[in-house]
């Protein structure tokens, strides 16, 4: 029987969904049909922060629960941290490069951009970290698909944009990045570069079949990062970043909270075992809150937590640009 895979309509969403569809077919021998789903985030021109967490996944989950599709693929950083009772993340495939990249005019790197250069990004996390570098850069909010963002640099409208390396890689456009940004300068959003393959929890055969795509080290890293985010969301409204690295059975997790203006930041880390991944994230969040992370939003202006930009699973052509 053919499996129905729900996907958003953008080139990037369909590219990563097709990648998973091919992997499912290779693992199970079953054909997979892509079913395009339009989400509220695709229809709106409003900033992602105003639309709310999960705006790009709600319609996919509704279709799953209505049995209009059998499974869905999400950019993991788009998912709300609260679980959905009747759905399960059946697989977390091996993660793509989690770093951010710069795409700048004339092949410039971040350090080479002249002061007052205009950099496009809608992510408060990125804005804060760009401001913290003290390079005199100006930022402007952007939305839209990857192609439309790249065109704004090519046309000279923007001097540069910052987006997830995973998105460019999955579209086969890696060569357009002028610099991959070291996480010491630009710590990624929790779960950036990872995909979540979700289906109904009671579909036991499909849960088992999809588990062939699971990458345990990636699942553990994402669990630590999302544990950090979940704990901070309850007590902090400032931009949040986190990245876990796995070495054998150990996790090294870095987390940071920023004021919106980038003048203040709290950066801490924790280590632990893979078995305690979620707990490591929550303990690091407690460390950050104890160090004053809950007060940073009042320094730079009240802002929502999380990344605020979905450039791995981007808006469809013709939607908000």
Active site residues: 78
Quick count: other Cβ atoms within 10 Å of Cβ 241? 28
In degrees and rounded to multiples of 5, residue 88 shows phi and psi of -140, 145
Please report which helix (H) or strand (E) contains residue 162, including its range.
strand 160-164
Rounded CA separation 305/264 (Å): 16
Token output for 30:
């079953």
Rounded CA separation 154/48 (Å): 24
Token output for 235:
């007590």
Count Cβ atoms within 10 A of the Cβ of residue 184 and give its class: 0-12 exposed, 13-18 middle, 19 or more buried. Answer: exposed
Q: What's the Cα-to-Cα distance from 56 to each of 12, 68, 73, rounded to whole Å? A: 13, 17, 11
Rounded CA separation 261/312 (Å): 25
Rounded CA separation 189/166 (Å): 12
Q: Which of 253, 188, 202 is nearest to 223 (CA)?
A: 253
Bridge partners (DSSP) listed for residue 266 = 257
């Amino acid at each position: 029987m053919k499996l129905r895979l729900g996907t958003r309509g953008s080139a990037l969403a369909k590219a990563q969904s097709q990648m998973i569809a091919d992997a499912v077919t290779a693992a199970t021998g079953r054909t997979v049909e892509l079913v395009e789903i339009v989400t509220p985030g695709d229809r709106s021109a409003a900033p992602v922060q105003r639309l709310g967490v999960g705006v790009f996944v709600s319609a996919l989950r509704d279709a799953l629960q209505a049995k209009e599709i059998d499974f869905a693929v999400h950019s993991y950083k788009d998912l709300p941290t609260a679980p959905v009772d009747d759905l399960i993340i059946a697989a977390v495939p091996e993660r793509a490069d989690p770093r951010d990249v710069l795409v700048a005019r004339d092949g410039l790197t971040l350090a080479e951009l002249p002061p007052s250069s205009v950099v496009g990004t809608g992510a408060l996390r990125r804005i804060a970290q760009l401001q913290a570098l003290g390079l005199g850069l100006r930022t402007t909010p952007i939305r839209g698909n990857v192609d439309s963002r790249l065109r704004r640099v090519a046309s000279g409208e923007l001097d540069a944009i910052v987006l997830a390396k995973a998105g460019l890689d999955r579209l086969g456009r890696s060569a357009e990045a002028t610099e991959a940004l070291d996480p010491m300068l630009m710590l990624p959003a929790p779960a950036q570069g990872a995909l979540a393959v979700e289906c109904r929890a009671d579909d036991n055969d499909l849960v088992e079949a999809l588990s062939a795509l699971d990458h345990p080290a990636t699942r553990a890293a994402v669990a630590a990062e999302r544990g950090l985010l979940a704990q901070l969301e309850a007590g902090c409204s400032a931009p949040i970043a986190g990245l876990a690295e796995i070495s054998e059975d150990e996790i090294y997790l870095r987390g940071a909270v920023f004021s919106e203006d980038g003048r203040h930041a709290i950066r801490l880390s924790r280590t632990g075992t893979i078995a305690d991944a979620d707990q490591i994230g929550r303990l690091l969040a407690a460390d950050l809150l104890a160090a004053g992370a809950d007060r940073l939003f009042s320094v730079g202006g009240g802002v929502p937590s999380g990344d605020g930009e979905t450039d791995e699973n981007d808006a469809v052509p013709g939607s908000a640009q």
